[in-house]
Chains A and B, each alone.
Chain A
Amino acid sequence: AYKRFSELLPKEERENACSARVPKSQILTLPELRANPFQDRICHVFSTSDTGDDSMSFEDFLDMLSVFSDSATSDIKSHYAFRIFDFDNDGTLDRKDLEQLVNCLTGQGEESRLSSAEMEQLIQNILEESDIDKDGTINLAEFQHVVSRSPDFARSGVSRG
C-alpha cells in the first residue's frame, strides 16, 4: 500500500511520503477510483485536510483502502457508505441527496438520466421501503438497517488489491 501511495507523489517528494499530502487530482488516477461515479465524494469523505481541498495523506489513504477491503465489517462499510451518499453533508439522506445519488448511478449525460416522473416514483419507492419514522429522510440507523438486509451490499463494496 505504501508503494502505491508513493507512486502517486511527484518524484521530489517521495522520500517524505509519510507526511506528504497528495492532491485530489492525483488520487483520482487510481484504477479503482477512475471509473467510480462517487470518486469526488470518496475523496471528500476520507480526506482530513483542513484546507478543504480534499487532498489525502498516507493515513487517509490507508483508511480508504481498509474500508474497501474484505476485512472491514459491514458496520464500518455502511457507515462510510452513508457518508459518501450524503451529498450535502447534513447527516441525513433527503430527497435531493437521493436524486443526486440516482443520477450518479445512471451515468453522466442527458440521455442516461431518468425522467422527472420516473425519478419521483423511484424516490417515493425508496422512501417507502426504508424510511421507518416517515420523516421524509433516511438517517444513519435506517440506512444501516436497510443495507444489512441487502444481499448485494457486502459483495459490491469490496475492491481487490
Chain B
Amino acid sequence: RDSQQAETECLSRWKKWRRTSSKSLKKALSEVKGLSSHLVLWQHDIRSIEGKFGTGIQSYFSFLRFLVLLNFIIFILMFSFVTLPTIISKNGLFNSTAASTSPKNIENVCTIYKPNGNKGLVYFYTYLKDLLSGTGFLEVTILFYGYYSTDALWINIMRYNFPLAYLLATFAYLALSFLWIIKRSVEGFKHNLVHDADPFQSYCNKVFAGWDFCITDPNAARLKHRSLQYELQTDLQEEKLKQKIAERRMGEKLRIYSLRIFINIIVIAILSGCFYSIYRVTVFSQENSNVSIRNYARTDLTNLLVQYLPSMVITLANFIGPLIFAFLIRFEDYTPAFEIKLTLLRCVFVRLASIGVLMFSLWSQISGCGSDKCKPCGYNYKSYPCWESDVGQEMYKLMIFDFIVILAVALFADFPRKLLVTHCSCKLVQWFGHKEFEISDNVLEIIYGQTICWIGTFFSPLLPAIATIKYFIIFYVKKIVLIHTRKPAARPIRASSSNFFFLVVLLIGLLLAFIPLGFSIARIPSSKACGPFRNFNTSWEVIPDTVLEFPTGLQQFLFGIASEAFAVPFFVI
C-alpha cells in the first residue's frame, strides 16, 4: 500500500481526476443495480431462500418466477390480439362491427352446434361443476375457442383479419417462448462449459476455491460445509467405482449387461402399460360423459368423476413411475451420478409422453370415422360439433386437476407429516422422518403444467392467465411448505447445472407441444360450427389464402423464401 500511495503523488492532475470520476461512477452504478433489484419480482424472497436452503432449491424458485413471467407475457399477447378485438366488436365500442359469414359449400349438418348455456333455473352446484369441467356456462365464454366465431372485424374503417390474427398470435407465443428459453439456457450453457472445462483439476478447484467468502450467515455456512463434504465424498466414491468397473472381468460384464437389458425391458413394459391405460381411460371418459347430450340418468358427481378420469390416471402414473424407477435402478449398478441422470430421464419421459398419449387418444376419437360418421365434414361431427372447444376443455381440466393435486399434497400430506414427526415419538414415524425437498420432482411437475398450457392456449386463449395465477399461488404455497416442514436436503445439487437441465427439459416440453398443435392446425379439419376458421378446410389454410391476396411481386418473394434453396441455409444460420 505504501507503494500505491507514492504512486498517487506522482500522477498528474488529469489522471487523478479520471481516477476519482471512475470510482464515483462505479459507486453510482452499483447503487442503481441495488435499487433495480428491488423492482424484480420476489427478489427478497428468493435471496432469503438461497441463504437458508442453498442454491439448488433457489434455482427451483427462480425457475418458477421465470414461468410466471412467461405465462403473463403470453397472456398479454393472446389477450391483445385475440380477445380484446372480439370484446370490442361484440360490444360495439369504437364504432366497430363484426361479420360472421356462414360457411359456403358445406352441408348444413356440420354447422349445428348448440352448447348448453344453462338457461333457466339451475342449481348452484351446477355452476361449480361447470367451473371444474369447463362445460355449461363456461363453454360459451371467451375462455374457449368456440366463442370466437367472427371472421372479420371493422374498427372505424380498418379491417382486422381475425382468423389470421388468431393463428399468428399462436405462432408468436410459441416463437417467443422458444427464443426466451434458448436465451436463458445459453447463459447457463456457457457457465456449464466453464465448469466442466477442466476435468484434470476438479479436486484442486474444489479444495482451493471451494469456500464462498460471501457467506455471512452461520446456517448458510453449515450448508456449505455439508455440500463441500458431500461433493468431495461423492467424487472420491465415483473414482473408486470407476476403478472397480475398469477391473471387471468378462463374465461379470456379461452378467451386468444382460441384467440391464432385462430391466430396460421391464421399464418399457411398464411405460406401455401406463400409456395404454391412459388411452383406454380417455376413450371411456369421452364416450361416457358426452355433455352435449343431457343425460339425467347419471348423477352429476359421477359425471364429474368420469370427466376427470384421464387426469387422475395421468397423475397416478406420474406418481408411481418415479418410485418404480428409483427402485429398479439400484440393480443396474451404475455410478451414482449416472443413476440420477437416468432416473430423471425416465421420469421426464413418462410425464411428457402421457400428455402425448392423451392428445393421440383425443384425436382418434375426433377423427374416428367408424361407420361413416365423418363423411360430410371430415371429423366426427355428431359427438364433436366444436372439437377445438372439447380439446380446450380437456386441457383446462388437466390444469385445474394439477393445481388441486399440488395444493392437496401440500395441505394433506406435508403438514400432517410434520405434525406427526414432531409430536409423535414412536419409532416407525421417526424412521419415516421429515420429507426432503425433492427438486427434480417439483420441477417436472411445473414443466408438465407448462406443457399443458402451451398446447391448450390455441384452444383456450385465456389459459395462460389461469397458468399465471396458478404458478403465482404455487410459489407461495411451496415457500410456506419449505420453510415449515422441510429439512435441507442431504444431497446438495450444484445450481448452474440444474438450471441448464431444467431449461433443457422445458425446451423438450415446448418442442413436444409443437407436435399436437401442428397436427391440429394443419391436418385435422377445423370445425365448421364454431371458431374463426369455419370457412377454411384446416386452420393452416388462412395463411396461403392471405398470401394469395398479396400483390404478385410480394407473393413471388414469399414463395422464394419458402423454397428450400433459401430456407435451409437460413435456418442453419
Contact = CB atoms under 8 A, between A and B. Distances in A.
Interface of A: 31-32, 34-38, 59, 62-63, 66, 68, 81, 85, 98, 101-102, 105-107, 112, 114, 118, 121-122, 125-126, 129-130, 143, 146-147, 149-153, 155-160
B426 interface: no
Contact of B210 (A105, A118, A149): A105
A156 B208 CA distance: 10
Contact of A81 (B208, B214, B221, B239): B208
Interface string B199-230: 01101110111111111111011100110110
Interface string B458-485: 0000000000000000000000000000
Contacts of B212: 155-156
Contacts of B158: none
A84 to B, nearest CB: 10
11 contacts: A31-B216, A34-B218, A36-B213, A121-B239, A121-B240, A129-B200, A149-B201, A150-B198, A156-B214, A157-B213, A158-B214
Given A36-B213, A130-B201, A147-B208, 11 more contacts: A32-B214, A35-B216, A59-B1, A105-B225, A105-B232, A107-B226, A112-B229, A114-B236, A122-B236, A147-B209, A160-B214
Interface in B223-269: 225-226, 228-229, 232-233, 236, 239-240
B205 A152 contact: yes
Contact of A153 (B197, B200, B209): B209
A114 B233 contact: yes
A68 B201 contact: no
Nearest to B237: A118
B30 to A, nearest CB: 9
Contacts of B194: 151
Nearest to B26: A71
A37 B220 CA distance: 12
Contacts of A38: 211
Contact of B209 (A68, A129, A156): A156
Instruction: Please give me the 8 A-B residue pairs with the lowest Cβ-Cβ distance, nearest first.
Output: A107-B225, A35-B221, A153-B209, A106-B229, A152-B209, A31-B216, A150-B205, A125-B203
Given A106-B229, A107-B229, A121-B239, A146 B213 contact: no
A159 B222 CA distance: 18
Nearest to B214: A159
B16 interface: no
Contact of B215 (A35, A59, A62, A107): A35
Contacts of A130: 201, 204
Contacts of A158: 213-214
Interface string B503-546: 00000000000000000000000000000000000000000000
A150 B208 contact: yes
B27 interface: no
Contacts of B240: 121
Given A122-B236, A146-B201, A35 B226 contact: no
Nearest to B4: A66
Nearest to B215: A35
B280 interface: no
Interface residues of B, number: 34
B232 A126 contact: no
Given A63-B1, A158-B213, A126 B207 contact: yes
Given A36-B215, A150-B204, A151-B195, A105 B209 contact: no
Interface of B: 1, 194-195, 197-198, 200-201, 203-205, 207-218, 220-222, 225-226, 228-229, 232-233, 236, 239-240
A125 B209 CA distance: 16
Contacts of B211: 36-38, 105, 156
A37 B209 contact: no
A129 B220 contact: no
B208 A122 contact: no
A155 B55 CA distance: 15
Nearest to B219: A35
Contacts of A68: 213
A8 B157 CA distance: 75
Nearest to B193: A151
B168 to A, nearest CB: 44
B213 A126 contact: no
B210 A129 contact: no
A122 B203 contact: yes
Contacts of A149: 198, 201
A159 B228 CA distance: 19
B213 A105 contact: no
A112 B225 contact: yes
A128 B230 CA distance: 21
B68 to A, nearest CB: 28
A28 B228 CA distance: 23
A35 B205 CA distance: 21
B205 A151 contact: yes
Contacts of A105: 207, 210-211, 225, 228-229, 232
Contacts of A151: 194-195, 197-198, 205
Given A106-B229, A122-B236, A62 B1 contact: yes
Residue with the highest number of chain A CB atoms closer than 10 Å, among B197, B225, B240? B225
A136 to B, nearest CB: 16
A125 B211 CA distance: 19
A85 B208 contact: yes
A146 B202 CA distance: 11
Contacts of A35: 215-218, 220-221
Contacts of B216: 31-32, 34-35
